Amino acid sequence: MTVLIDAIEPFIVDLPTIRPHRLSMTTMAYQTMVIVRVRCSDGLEGIGEATTIGGLSYGAESPEAIHSAIENYLAPLLVGQPADNPNRLRSRMQRYVRANSFAKSALETALLDAQGQRLGVPVSSLLGGAQNERLAVLWTLASGNAVTDIAEAERLLADDRHRQFKLKIGGREVRDDVEHVISIQQGLPDGVSLRVDVNQAWSESQAKPAIAVLQNAGIDLIEQPTPGRQMHALTRLSQRFEIALMADEAVADTFDGMRLWRSGFSGAIALKIAKAGGPIGALELAHAVEAVGLDLYGGTMLEGTIGTAAAVHAWSTLRECRWGTEMFGPLLLTEDIVTESLHYCAGGVTVPDAPGLGVSIDEDKLDYFRRDGGPRRTTSIGSELKGRRHAV
């Protein structure tokens, strides 16, 4: 018998972080994520996650908007549909709902999770098969204080948890940011890789002298120094300097990646499953830009374990992520809603090999941290929507 999607339930969770996480556009004191459950007629349940950085401070989708898009638009498209073909369901979402890539990513992840469990294989196998059992993972230093950041890096190096670091800058005057980076670089041991993420905070004229100083100081890479929409500014900077530049906010999907490459950009692309609408779209982008010679980096929206596991499965199928990955999101949390964490050690993370994502929800923690509070609801969105599904 055909396995159908019986119900879809999204909910918002707020989780505390180990410290404030300072970016150019906001400072995060906690992490908010949308978790989605997809229940199928064969009794299996897939889970997915959509997480933003600082709500609308970073991008166009807030947690509340993601929840609404799933509940009111995407769930009616999927409930009652065959559950065993995530690719066809992905196409259905793309056809009838514009944009909303974060919401689609959460659902695509849940569909892949359920199908992996159904077939008894990890999600990486559904995406082509893992080529790597472990992925290098850097740590982002984002307290905003040089002494604190250096001490944090030294602890992580001593524990052999991370060997590469990235600094979040862009919230101060350009000169102050550059001095902050150099002071931290000088405080770290020789041979430690240090990159910076400007988060679109500089104009092209500001970026030129700043990049020159950072290049001379031995910084390895600079991520998105200029606004994402100013594609040609990023391209000109990549052609002007030897230091590697990375596009993040400038690239969401394959169309963006090819447009940036055709403009003459040479550097790296930050992959994010949320920006691309899910793991499948992120890998389409990866394969396209890799084919034309651009380097890859496994990026993050600081997801918890569910979203991080989905990205780890995707990045494990790539031949090489030249600049490693940033899949440390769960380590930034003091609490999570899963029964077992991912395994981090020796500067990297192990790719789960259990069926599906290889992670499951801790019901007690979910009940405690979900935003609506109280006992978990037993009614499902799927049952409410079956009678009023959109005619599509």
Residues involved in catalysis = 168, 326
The closest alpha carbon to 77, from 115, 111, 34, belongs to: 111
DSSP states of 292-358: TT-EEEE--S---HHHHHHHHHHHHTSS--TT-B---GGGGBS--SBSS---EETTEEEPP-SSBTS
Instruction: Kindly report the number of other CB atoms within 10 A of residue 306's CB atom.
Output: 28
Spatial CB neighbours of 275, under 8 Å, sequence gap ≥ 6: 101, 251, 252, 253, 282
**Cα–Cα distances in angstroms (integers) from residue 376 to residues 359, 360, 373, 382, in the given order:** 19, 16, 8, 16
Residue 171, C-beta contacts closer than 8 angstroms, at least 6 positions apart? 22, 23, 24, 25, 144, 177, 201
| 193-197/164-168 β-pairing | parallel
d(CA 25, CA 66): 20
3-state secondary structure 343-379: CEECCEEECCCCCECCCCECHHHHHHHECCCCCCCCC
Q: Which two tokens stand for residue 136?
A: 């290098």
Nearest CA-CA partner of 168 in 189, 207, 195: 195
Single-letter amino acid code for the residue at 160 = D
Residue 235: burial class (beta carbons within 10 Å; 0-12, 13-18, 19+) = buried
Q: How far is it, in rounded angstroms, from Cα 84 to Cα 70?
A: 19
Residue among 330, 359, 360 nearest 344 (CA): 330
Sign for the CA dihedral angle at 200, 203, 208, 212 comes to: negative
